[in-house]
Structure 1
Amino acid sequence: MTHILLKLARKSIEGSFDGTIPEAETEIKEKFSKVTPCFVCLTKNGKIRGISGNLKANKEIFREVIEHSIKSAFHDKNFSPLKKEELSAIKIELFILNSLEQAEFDSIDELLNKINQGLSGVAIEKGYHSANFLPKVWEEISDKDEFLSVLCEKAGLPDNEWKKSGMKFWIYTTKSLRE
């Protein structure tokens, strides 16, 4: 059975094609009213087709799902907007954040020990540069050093910048729902 938030995500994308964004039903509003951050990831043939989300939510989870479903389908700058004929090939995955904690550490080894390979999402920030990898990225990058190096590159920083002082790290876990 498809989770109710996944159904809401799909209806939001489908409705965008004809301008009828669904209003969440009362049951959804009541059950999913907690302000919770999430990411919506669209895949097509096993490859990412769009993604959108926030590490810090500012609205109820059902509203976050609607907003990020639409953004992942039509406003991800890395992809062209979704076409209606692609809908049947798209799979939706939701990542609901369970926790987000800034990592405190005294050494690189201590930082690496705090990151649970395969389970941890990691966000970094240094100056005006920031980037985030969901736990799903471990499916493609299985080495912690490489994971953090590629994350730095995503942020527009040199790949070894994570080993230098001044970098802030946040570590989190997610609950994943997928079609």
Structure 2
Amino acid sequence: MNLTDEEKIELLRIARNSITSTVNGEGLPEVEPKTENLKTPCGAFVTITINDSLRGCIGYVEPVKSLAETVNEVAAKSALEDPRFPPVEPYELDKIEIEISVLSPLTRVKSVDEIKVGENGIMIKRGWRRGLLLPQVAIEHNLTREEFLEHTCLKAGLPPDCWKDKETEIYIFTAIVFKESDFKQKTGEGV
């Protein structure tokens, strides 16, 4: 999938409206996808940061809803339901930065050599446990392929070297990643 700048801006608006509405106790807003891309079922994650520090990140790996509906739902969940953080408070709304990662379908790898650090995200699955790290995590933390695999195992609640076990399933995906500040810099105004 290729997204136009207009579609990216629309998704960022959807995420911002969802977060603002739900944090203020108004419930999840309705969305009407305007383009075929936004109507297409697709996995996506919404990441919320304040001053470059993670404040929430939740998403759907599988394409269970339209891209617009997915972003609408996971934006609210990122703000209110990420178990690692307290819910976003209304006073924080002006401080948050929203980043969206639109995921390609998952592909199971036969060899870890197929993983391109910085280009691929990873999902590790073993039994009922699974962990996922987005492609940008490896870049942000300057991780090697092995470190990226280890961190993904830990995210799944598994030993860091579980990726070496043949019982562990490893999947890769790519993502279209964009955030509000990408467009503020280009247009000089907010999304």
Given the two structures, how large is their TM-score scaled by the length of structure 2?
A: 0.84
Preserved CA contact (<8 Å) 1:119 1:135: yes
List alignment gaps of at least 5 residues for structure 2.
181-191
Q: Which residue of 1 aligns with 2:152?
A: 151
Aligned residue runs from structure 1 range 1-179, under 5 A:
3-16=9-22, 17-25=24-32, 27=34, 32-103=38-109, 105=110, 111-138=111-138, 139-179=140-180
Preserved CA contact (<8 Å) 2:28 2:73: no
Preserved CA contact (<8 Å) 1:11 1:22: yes
Distance 1:130 1:96, change over 3 A: same
> Aligned residues, how many?
172
4+ residue segments displaced more than 6 Å: none
List alignment gaps of at least 5 residues for structure 1.
106-110
2:69 is paired with a residue whose SS is helix
Preserved CA contact (<8 Å) 1:141 1:147: no
Query: C-alpha separation between the residues in 1 aligned to 2:172 and 2:135?
Result: 10
Query: C-alpha separation between the residues in 1 aligned to 2:34 and 2:173?
Result: 29
Query: C-alpha separation between the residues in 1 aligned to 2:25 and 2:165?
Result: 50
1:132 is paired with a residue whose SS is strand
Identity of aligned residues (%): 33
Query: C-alpha separation between the residues in 2 aligned to 1:26 and 1:100?
Result: 24
Distance 1:8 1:157, change over 3 A: same
How far did residue 84 of structure 1 move? 0.4
